[in-house]
Structure 1
Amino acid sequence: MGKKLWYHSKYLLLLLFCTNSVAQVKPADFKYVDHILGYWRMPTKHSTFTEYWVKKDDNTWEGMTHRITGKDSVEMDKMQLVRSGNDLVFTVVAVADPKTGKPVPFKVTVIQANGFVAENPDCDYPQKIVYKWKKVDELEVHFKGEKEKTFSEIILEYKRK
């Protein structure tokens, strides 16, 4: 068998993965976050979950989730993306620091045309939140991480209304 070409090597894939994972978020890419704006729905067997995002100003995006059952609507959560200099921070009220009661900050580590990744390895759960646009009007939200040595991932699949 012949020698493997360097570009077929598993080491090249590892190098590319590591290079991409340390990529810096660029303020010029913040425009991609605007795709989140609007009203998103996820029907389930017994209710419908919604996520609604608005842009408050040039540095702040705010979101809200609701659960709708029949004619009743219950606010489930509030989210926020806030630009601070060259950083973008994601918070969700449901993920709060037990000591302060304030939302845990997740630093946005990747922003691309198809979504963004926010991470906080010190958070109890989740450590990673991913917003991914599968299509123009389809959004997947992943909450993933490890809690008590068990990996867990919650996936929400929304469609734009």
Structure 2
Amino acid sequence: MKQFLFTCVLVAFAAFASGQSANDFQKLEWLVGKWIKVNTKPGRSGFERWESTNPGSMKGLGLTLNGSDTVFIERLQLLARDNAIYYVADVGENKTLTYFKLTSISNNGFTCEDPNHDFPRKIVYELAGKKLKVTTSGNGKSTDFFFEKE
């Protein structure tokens, strides 16, 4: 009986200590698809498109267009690695990839942070039906982006 109890405690501790799991990553599946930006300036459009590449990995692309000209592009990933999930941004003006660690996750959103990045330091994705609000913040600034699923 003591051995059984010890084993249960050990398994529970291992699950707690392991950080985010495959089950946590599955909570992100709602993000798959194309999200059209709805709060753009006149003459501009934009979107984010996400696809599941394999268990524990998703690939995204964010574009902002002025007419037919691309004015902003970012390549994105959600990646399970080292018992954590990371939101990885590859933006042209940055020399290296930026890794934002997911600090909270639910069935309708997530928060990720990199306290050492200039801006943003925090990114929050919030799902409400077929609408998505993405908030980037840091250094006393905050910007909201609104999307609808195509």
Q: Distance in 1 between matches of 2:44 and 2:92?
A: 23
1:89 and 2:67 equivalent?
Answer: no
Matched residues, number? 129
Unpaired runs of 5+ residues, structure 2, are 1-18
Distance in 1, matches of 2:33 and 2:56, equals 17
- SS of 2:96's equivalent in the other structure is coil
Match of 2:143 among 125, 131, 154: 154
Provide the TM-score with structure 1 as the length reference. 0.73
- Give the structure 2 partner of residue 141 of structure 1: 134
Q: Is the 8 A contact 1:95 1:104 kept in 2?
A: no
Q: Could you tell me which residue of structure 1 aligns to residue 101 of structure 2? A: 107
Report the equivalent of 2:60.
63
Alignment partner, residue 22 of structure 2: 27
Instruction: State the TM-score, normalizing by the size of structure 2.
Output: 0.78
Q: 1:95 to 1:87 in 2, by over 3 A?
A: farther
Contact kept? 1:96, 1:102, Cα under 8 Å: no
Cα deviation for residue 67 of structure 1 reads 2.2
Equivalent runs, 1:37-48 vs 2, <5 Å = 37-43=32-38, 44=40, 45-48=42-45
CA shift, 1:81, in A, is 0.8
Q: Against the structure 1 CA distance between its residues 117 and 95, is the aligned structure 2 distance closer, same or farther, given a 3 Å change threshold?
A: farther
Following superposition, the deviation at residue 25 of structure 1 comes to 3.7
| RMSD, aligned α-carbons | 1.9
User: Using a 3 Å threshold, how does the CA distance of structure 1 residues 160 and 94 change in structure 2: closer, same or farther?
Assistant: same
**Structure showing greater relative contact order (alpha-carbon pairs closer than 8 Å, 6 or more residues apart):** 2
Task: Kindly indicate whether residue 125 of structure 2 is the aligned counterpart of residue 131 of structure 1.
Answer: yes
SS at match of 1:93: strand
